[in-house]
Amino acid sequence: MQGFLNLNKPLDWTSHDCVAKVRKLLNMKRVGHAGTLDPKATGVLPIALGKATRLLQYLPGKKAYQATIRLGVRTTTDDLEGEIITSTPCSGLDLDNVKTALSQFIGKIEQIPPSYSAIQIDGKRLYDLARKGEIVEVPMRIVEISQIQVIDWRDGDFPELDIAISCGTGTYIRAIARDLGIILNTGGTLAALIRTESSSFQIPDSLTFTDLETQLQTNRFQPLAPDAPLQHLVSVDLPTASAKKWCQGQKIPLNLAIPDFVRVYETETNFLGIGKLEDDLLIPQMVFYEFTN
Domains and CATH numbers, the chain: 3-60+200-217 (3.30.2350.10), 63-198 (3.30.2350.10), 233-287 (2.30.130.10)
pLDDT-derived band at 256 (thresholds 50, 70, 90) equals confident
pLDDT-derived band at 293 (thresholds 50, 70, 90) equals low
Q: Which has more pLDDT, 87 or 128?
A: 87
Measured CA to CA, the distance from residue 82 to residue 193 in angstroms comes to 15
Measured CA to CA, the distance from residue 9 to residue 25 in angstroms comes to 15
Q: What is the pLDDT of residue 212?
A: 97
Indicate whether 250 pLDDT > 80: yes
Measured CA to CA, the distance from residue 36 to residue 47 in angstroms comes to 11
Q: H or E element: which one contains 201?
A: strand 201-202
Strands (E), 10-62: 31-33, 41-49
Q: What is the pLDDT of residue 168?
A: 93
Q: What is the pLDDT of residues 74-123, one digit of tens each?
A: 998 899 988 999 999 998 899 999 999 999 999 999 998 887 655 555 55
Indicate whether 279 pLDDT > 60: yes
Point out which residues pair with 252 in neighbouring strands: 282
Q: What is the pLDDT of residue 107?
A: 96
CA angle 143, 194, 201 (to 5 degrees): 75
- Global confidence as pTM: 0.89
What's the whole-number average pLDDT of the chain? Answer: 90
Measured CA to CA, the distance from residue 173 to residue 193 in angstroms comes to 8
Indicate whether 2 pLDDT > 70: yes
Q: What is the pLDDT of residue 41?
A: 93
Measured CA to CA, the distance from residue 171 to residue 142 in angstroms comes to 9
Indicate whether 167 pLDDT > 80: yes
Q: What is the pLDDT of residue 114?
A: 80
Segment 35-47 shows an average pLDDT of: 92
Tell me how far CA of residue 197 lies from CA of 2, 27, 179, 209, 225, in angstroms.
22, 27, 23, 18, 18
Nearest partner of 43 among 151, 211, 171, 205, judged by Cα: 205
Q: Confirm whether 38 is a catalytic residue.
A: yes
pLDDT-derived band at 292 (thresholds 50, 70, 90) equals low
Catalytic residue among 12, 17, 38, 179: 38
